[in-house]
Structure 1
Amino acid sequence: MLEWIAILFVASGLVYGLWSRRMQKFNISSPMMMVLAGGIVAIPLGLWAQPPLEPLKDNFHFARVFSELTLAIILFLDAAILDYRKERPALRLATRLLMVGLPLTVVVTWVAAYYGIAPGIGIVPALLIALMVSPTDAALSRPVLENRLISSPVRQGINIESGLNDGLVLPVFTTALAIEAALTGQNANGWISEAILEIAIGAGVGVACGAILGMLVNHAVARNLMIDRFERLFGVLSALLIFLLAEKAGGNGFVAAFAGGLALNIASSKVADVIESFGEAEAELLTMLTFFVFGLLILPSVYELWTGEMLLFSVVSLLILRPACVWICMLGSPYNLAEKLFIGWFGPRGIASIIYLLIMVTMLGISGYEALVACVALIVTISVITHGISATPLTTALANYSKKKRPA
């Protein structure tokens, strides 16, 4: 069965790739296509007919291993290829979004989740939902990042935000998981202190390895010691090495991957040029696979658990909470009304939310957390559809609006 799933995934990717330009003209993004493909493949496998959560339980080992390696690579590449030397307006915008907009979004989403999803959901589970659905995903707004008619600060600010917010949320998410595990009696003895120690060890291993690898790649590229294909593979190999070393040392491999990417970026002036081209292709493949698994395993597991309260919370989260928080954090900024609304809307939820969800299930199990799993899946589903459909039209509209506002 696994072989057929792999074949159908690859075939779906090839079909979309062959007609990708035409698909994008009809506002069909690759995440939309892969969720649909995963859902279709699940039909003959009988996954839609199984009781709620059974498809995920039966295939959880595969989803867990895949999610861990995927998140490690994405966190590392996001940090490693970040151009922190970008123009100052983009950095100022990203700083506003990350330092003010992100914490504010987490807090208001936390309150809304506590009061709006399910009776007695609990304070910490509500926080876990807020942390899972607050990081944004640039893969769902690719046309925004590629359209040169949109001002560079807006494009680059959104890109920097989506590249860093999942890494910034990660330590808080891990700590919240530890608190919930302690409160529910799962590995309660020393769990919180152990989690903090894991974060510290992970960060230390990541920074040390990233700095060393940065110096090594500088040396190798300067002396033309690396052939092209290994230059492009360097980022993925580094991510996996740092993740595995940190896990072996008893640290948090995800924190290590993100810290290692940042350290490598700072230590090496060559790293972005070396791995960015491969990183883009790798990120696209991981994006497609993540959304395929989402459609194949998660949607058939949760759709029967969706409630009206979850739908209302999801819509409020996407349409009101994130845009309102962005609006507040951009008070006093030089951006016009259309740009503020645009930035507020393009906070799609995707890969980080899916993988954090799988990590939560790994550490806490599913029993007792059915509402969390279902709600996060619903938000991601709505986001994949609405942000995929709206990316090109709204980008074109903002470009035309900005062109009219530009002085002749």
Structure 2
Amino acid sequence: MLEAFDLTVLTIASLIIISIVMLRASSRIGVPTLLIFLTLGMIAGSDGLGIPFDDAVLAQKVGVIALAFILFSGGLESDWPTIRPVLLPGALLGTVGIVLTASLLGLFAIFVLNFPPVAGMLLGAVVSSTDAAAVFNVLRTKQIGLKGELKSLLEFESGSNDTMAVILTVGFIGLMQTPDHDIIDLIVTIFKQIILGAVVGLATGKGLQLLINALHLEYEGLYPVLLSSSILLIYAATNMIGGNPFLAVYLAGLVLGNTTFVHKRSQIRFLDGIAWLMQIVMFLTLGLLVYPTRLADYVLPGIAFSLFLMFVARPLAVFLTLPFCRLNIREKLLTSWVGLRGAAPIILATFPFAAGIKESDQIFNIVFFTVLTSLILQGSTLPLAVKLLKLEAPLIRKASYPFEYENKEASNTRLQEFIVPYNSAATGKRIFELKMPEDSLITLIYRGESHLVPTGRTILEPGDVILVLVNNDNAKAVAAALTMPPA
């Protein structure tokens, strides 16, 4: 028995390490990383190397917990000032857009694929949400950025639209299991889950900040443990009271990430690592659940369903949802093409299995085929689409620093990041020539992949990321000195 346990641990560890190593291959060929993870899972499964796994209920549990950590981490790293301008269109895409996409796909499943009415709508709900994380993996590997507010819009949509997809999926499963329920019950459930999930998420996000800052723990390593346990608590508690747990954990992360708390940078790095681990484990598990030999029966319906999603359902949902927003036609077209399917649809496809739905096997295989098709076709052509639509912009990388400075609410001094624009009057000047406030201090310059310790004679270059010790009184003056356009 001990040998069997050791073999299981060896297999899991090996698959995770291979997945990480394969990330380099993903970067070279420009495909989403989750496609690599799914493929490895399929290769290792029953039809490949022979690892037996057919427990859909276990896969569902692994998937929902992993998704909770991924959404919390995504919210934690989201910048509210960049989300605020796209809050309305992002919320509309994540709610109305999901309903329209699910409805159109459901009608296609009913009238073209001959699904029973409620089962067809269930299939549409399962595959209705997007995965922008896969999109930006492709864009980063090809060194392509997006103009305007597109990046913020797509990130916010991807973090919020899983909520509506989960609600619709659970709702239609409930309609199939309890025929006496009607559409009114589903609408009531939707509003209840959104309201409760939002309230719990906003409240717990602020509560977490107060708790972390008030504890003054002796051991720094306990803070990530506290944060990880809190994610599970938020998920479980919200689910138990009838709210949407995915919305709650995302909003909790968003609220917490836009406040100041103890060891913030180290905790964000820890959660980022956990989110990557969760993605790998989740995709490998879902890949193991698939029998590639069975997908052959779903090639034609899968291709038809995928093409309808990519060229009809998603574009219609985007254009009908955002008729009066500030996005132009080219931006709406790219938003339509960016609708890659990823983790959430495959996880939701395990829900019918767990509920014992008759069409569960058919739904899972069509969804899996659709996700693969979307990642291969849309994922590989995204850089080309960005260029053809003339929406590419320089990719802004996050600076990394060789030290950590903890900003505290009680202190008036903080370490703030500034970027020297290409048209700034500061470019080409030495630091001592800048009209910087006397009570400010440039501590580090991040240039390309290098860190520079500045002196008064250091010459600033366009694109330099500068870390400056500032206070509430001089921050605006520092920003003006570094970003002011030439006279």
What is the TM-score normalised by the length of structure 1?
A: 0.78
Q: 1:27 aligns with which of 27, 30, 46?
A: 30
Q: Give the C-alpha shift of residue 86 in structure 1.
A: 2.2
Describe the shift of the 1:297–1:100 C-alpha distance in structure 2 as closer, same or farther (beyond 3 A).
Answer: closer
Equivalent-residue separation in structure 2 for 1:210 and 1:390 (angstroms): 38
How far residue 354 of structure 1 moved from its aligned partner, in angstroms, is 1.2
In structure 2, list runs of 5 or more residues that go unmatched.
395-422, 424-487
Whichever residue aligns with residue 296 of structure 1, its letter is: L
Q: Distance in 2 between matches of 1:8 and 1:344?
A: 39
One-letter amino acid of the counterpart of residue 256, structure 1: P
Q: What are the Cα deviations for residues 284-329 of structure 1, in whole angstroms up to 9, with x where unaligned?
A: 2222222212222124474144152332112211233212322333
Taking structure 1 as reference, are residues 339 and 175 closer, same or farther at Cα in structure 2, changes over 3 Å only? same
**Which residues of 2 match residues 4-403 of structure 1 at below 5 A?**
4=7, 7-18=10-21, 20-21=23-24, 23-42=26-45, 43=47, 45-46=49-50, 58-79=54-75, 81-86=77-82, 88-117=84-113, 119=114, 121-143=115-137, 146=140, 149-183=145-179, 204=196, 207-208=199-200, 211-212=203-204, 214-221=206-213, 225=217, 228-246=220-238, 250-252=240-242, 255-263=244-252, 265-266=254-255, 269-270=259-260, 273=264, 275-300=267-292, 302-363=294-355, 365=356, 367-395=358-386
Question: 2:185 & 2:73 partners in 1: Cα distance?
Answer: 29
Counterpart CA distance in 2 for 1:6 and 1:319 is 43
Query: Which secondary structure state, in structure 2, belongs to the residue aligned with residue 306 of structure 1?
Result: helix
What is the RMSD of the two structures over their aligned residues, measured on CA atoms? Answer: 3.9
3-state DSSP of counterpart to 1:161: helix
Once the 2 structures are TM-superposed, how far is the Cα of residue 379 of structure 1 from its aligned partner?
0.8
Larger helix proportion, structure 1 or 2? 1
Secondary structure class of the residue paired with 1:97: helix
Relative to structure 1, is the Cα distance of residues 4 and 134 closer, same or farther in structure 2, using a 3 angstrom cutoff?
Answer: farther
Q: CA deviation at 1:4?
A: 4.5
CA contact (8 A) 1:302 1:377 kept: no
Q: What is the rounded CA distance, in whole Å, between the counterparts of 1:233 and 1:44 in structure 2?
A: 37
Query: In structure 1, what is the equivalent of residue 485 of structure 2?
Result: none
Q: Which structure carries more strand by proportion? A: 2
1:62 CA drift (Å): 3.0
Pair 302,344 (structure 1): closer, same or farther in 2 beyond 3 Å: same
Shift of 1:102: 2.6
Distance in structure 2 (CA, Å) of the matches to 1:151 and 1:400: 5
Separation in 1, partners of 2:190, 2:105: 27
CA spacing shift, 1:138–1:312, aligned 2, 3 Å: same
Aligned counterparts of 1:369 and 1:19: Cα–Cα separation in 2: 32
Give the C-alpha shift of residue 334 in structure 1.
3.8
Letter aligned with residue 38 of structure 2:
V
3-state SS, counterpart of residue 129 of structure 1: helix
Is the contact made by 1:144 and 1:155 (CA closer than 8 Å) also made in structure 2?
A: no
Larger radius of gyration: 2
Judge which range, 73-82 or 89-98, deviates more.
73-82
Q: Percent sequence identity over matched residues?
A: 22
Number of positions where the alignment pairs a residue of Structure 1 with one of Structure 2: 385
Closer, same or farther: CA 85–173 of 1 in aligned 2, 3 Å: farther
**Any idea what the Cα deviations from partners look like across 1:240-273, whole Å, max 9, x if unmatched?**
12233456xx445x72353254256447723795
Q: Which has the higher contact order (CA 8 A, sep 6+)?
A: 1
Greater alpha carbon shift after TM alignment, 35-44 vs 208-217: 208-217
User: CA 1:87/1:348 → structure 2, altered by over 3 Å: closer, same or farther?
Assistant: closer
Show the counterpart of 1:50: none
Is the Cα contact below 8 Å between 1:140 and 1:387 reproduced in 2?
Answer: no
Report deviation, 1:167.
Answer: 1.3
Alpha-carbon distance in structure 2 between the residues aligned to 1:44 and 1:144:
27
What SS does the corresponding residue of 2:178 show, helix, strand or coil?
helix
- Normalising by structure 2, we get a TM-score of 0.67
Structure 1 residue 138, shift from structure 2 partner: 2.1
SS in 1 for 2:339: coil
- Counterpart amino acid of residue 152 in structure 2: Q
CA–CA separation in structure 1 for the residues paired with 2:167 and 2:214: 35
Amino acid at match of 2:380: I
Query: Which letter maps to 1:150?
Result: L
